[in-house]
Chain A
Amino acid sequence: MQSQERKIQAPVPNLETKAFWDAAAAGKLMVGKCNACGRVHYYPRARCPFCFSDQTELQQVSGNGVIYTYSVMRRAPIPYAIAYVTLAEGPTMMTNIVDCDLDSIRIGQSVRLVFKESDGGAPVPMFTPA
């Protein structure tokens, strides 16, 4: 089954997340990096969810990852694959697997970042088989 184009709900940025979505518009995927404890987190926040420091910043990631799990929603007008992808830099993020045969998706598969246009908002980070 070939994936088709599904209308993607636009993310609504706020004061805390505007920089993330501005970076997305420039084709970059960012994670949260804490300069106090050194750990990276996702989704990015102003305060580190591990050590609670406010010394966080956005850090660009490579866009390489591995599928942790996924599911193809068959009961949708246009079937789509939702997934969690573990980034090479550590954090695991919710995403979609796109531009591929939905029946060929597997856990453990290597994927790479692509951005997809949303319905009137910033482009959204998704992944496709590497």
Chain B
Amino acid sequence: MSIKGKANIVGIFEHPTRKADDKSLFQLHAECAQGALADAGLSKDDIDGYFCASGDTPGLGALSMIDYLGLKLRHWDSTDTGGSSYLLQVEHAAEAIALGKCSVALITLAGRPRTEGVATGTAPRAAAVQSAETAFENPYAPATANMYAMCAMRHMYQYGTTSEQLAWVKVAASHHAQYNPHAMLRDVVTVEDVVNSPMIADPLHRLDCCVISDGGGAIIVAKPEVAKSLKRPLVKIIGAGEAPKHQMGGVVDLTYSGAVWSGPAAFMEAGVKPADIKYASIYDSFTITVVMQIEDLGFCEKGQGGRFVADGNLISGTGKLPFNTDGGGLCNNHPSNRGGLTKVVEAVRQLRGEAHPRVQVPNCDLALAHGTGGSLGTRHGSATVIMERE
């Protein structure tokens, strides 16, 4: 049993807003849903499956959102792994479709952290919810930036990775963002700009960190029969993998991510290898996130990620692995502090040939979208999706 070729991505939408101070959270979800339906050429009544992350859909699981949207469903799932949730949900939707549990699945994401003034990356976590590890972590003020910074610090120590190499990830993203009119940061930056930006958490500078933006997006996954009845280019899901990684009882190793498991699972199911991939959307919460995941997915040897990303190797048209051609989370958009959905959206644009002409990868028929959600410094969920243009 495999999901290979059992489901297509038929609709995508990225909300153009980056500051939604005039809209409610639920309203944003609905606008995203409508945008993806319009892109696909479907209507709300066609939806019989709904997938979201419980963390950005307040209420009991997905129930309040399902109520608000007025959905009649045969199947739903609100698994939350932070920013990678929507990559998992693409896999889960494809699984449900492959089993006949639903035919047209909607996935939505929305959030307003910018309007709400959340110091996402640097504020220590609140103590409101006590999980098993809370008492053993919160006293030390783990935020988001310093958790990823500890990964970067160890990577530098163990593999000789440099701040300049990390900076190349941001430089490449900025080269792409200049062509995206919706991107928050459209100025092209240099390695010097990144390493001279203020230090946030050693060794990560301000420009090593992603943006904080309002907004959202949606994806519609449907069975191939539905996809073929629509007037859009055909993009099918051919492989996916997911894996959690955690502290393993104290056997902590921050040099690798769950992509070492989710990546090979996805490649095996798809029957392709990293060298076959024409375009990759790689979750870029921080520059180090990209370097670690590129290594773990097998695009280069472990420890060589810094050297791999240097000298423009991620820039479309120049580099060997064009990545995040929308500008990614580093420059374009990180709606709700969750970047997984937009990773799928840009990969689908590439496969359809609908990316900006200056960043469109020629003959892009095989793309990968990958993300890690939660924190690479503690616990995270890794998810990899491989898609092919028919």
B202 at the interface (CB under 8 A from A): yes
Question: What's the Cα separation between A40 and B253 when bound, in Å?
Answer: 17
B150 lies within 8 A of A82 (CB): yes
Contact of A94 among B137, B201, B204 (CB under 8 A): B137
Residue from A8, A12, A73, A124 whose CB has the most chain B CB atoms within 10 Å: A73
Residue from B130, B250, B252 whose CB has the most chain A CB atoms within 10 Å: B250
B140 lies within 8 A of A70 (CB): no
A-side contacts of B248, CB under 8 Å: 49
Interface residues of B, Cβ cutoff 8 Å to A: 122, 124, 127, 130, 132-143, 145-147, 149-154, 157, 198-204, 247-252, 254, 378
Number of interface residues of A (CB under 8 A): 48
A71 lies within 8 A of B146 (CB): yes
Which residue of chain A is the closest to B127 with respect to CB atoms? A9
A13 lies within 8 A of B135 (CB): yes
B201 lies within 8 A of A71 (CB): yes
Which residue of chain B is the closest to A42 with respect to CB atoms? B250
Q: Take A41-B249, A69-B153, A107-B153 as given contacts and tell me if A93 and B254 are in contact as well, using a CB distance cutoff of 8 Å.
A: no
B133 lies within 8 A of A82 (CB): no
B-side contacts of A53, CB under 8 Å: none
B135 lies within 8 A of A17 (CB): yes
Question: What's the Cα separation between A75 and B208 when bound, in Å?
Answer: 14
Question: What's the Cα separation between A71 and B154 when bound, in Å?
Answer: 10
Q: Which 5 A-B residue pairs are closest in the complex by CB-CB distance?
A: A91-B250, A71-B149, A11-B135, A41-B249, A42-B250
Number of A-B pairs, beta carbon distance below 8 Å: 121
A72 at the interface (CB under 8 A from B): yes
B140 lies within 8 A of A40 (CB): no
Question: What's the Cα separation between A11 and B130 when bound, in Å?
Answer: 10
B139 lies within 8 A of A9 (CB): yes
Q: Take A40-B250, A69-B150, A82-B150 as given contacts and tell me if A74 and B140 are in contact as well, using a CB distance cutoff of 8 Å.
A: no
B141 lies within 8 A of A73 (CB): yes
Q: Report B177 CB to chain A, min CB distance, Å.
A: 23
B250 lies within 8 A of A41 (CB): yes
A-side contacts of B254, CB under 8 Å: 68-69, 84
A-side contacts of B149, CB under 8 Å: 71
Q: Take A41-B249, A73-B201 as given contacts and tell me if A9 and B150 are in contact as well, using a CB distance cutoff of 8 Å.
A: no
A10 at the interface (CB under 8 A from B): yes
B249 lies within 8 A of A49 (CB): yes
Which residue of chain B is the closest to A31 with respect to CB atoms? B250
B150 lies within 8 A of A70 (CB): yes
Q: Take A73-B145, A74-B202, A107-B157 as given contacts and tell me if A11 and B139 are in contact as well, using a CB distance cutoff of 8 Å.
A: yes
B-side contacts of A48, CB under 8 Å: 249
Q: Report A61 CB to chain B, min CB distance, Å.
A: 11
Instruction: Contacts A9-B139, A71-B152, A91-B250 known; list 8 others, CB within 8 Å.
Output: A11-B138, A68-B252, A68-B254, A69-B153, A71-B202, A73-B141, A90-B250, A118-B139
Question: What's the Cα separation between A93 and B140 when bound, in Å?
Answer: 11
A92 at the interface (CB under 8 A from B): yes
Question: What's the Cα separation between A80 and B141 when bound, in Å?
Answer: 9
Which residue of chain B is the closest to A107 with respect to CB atoms? B157
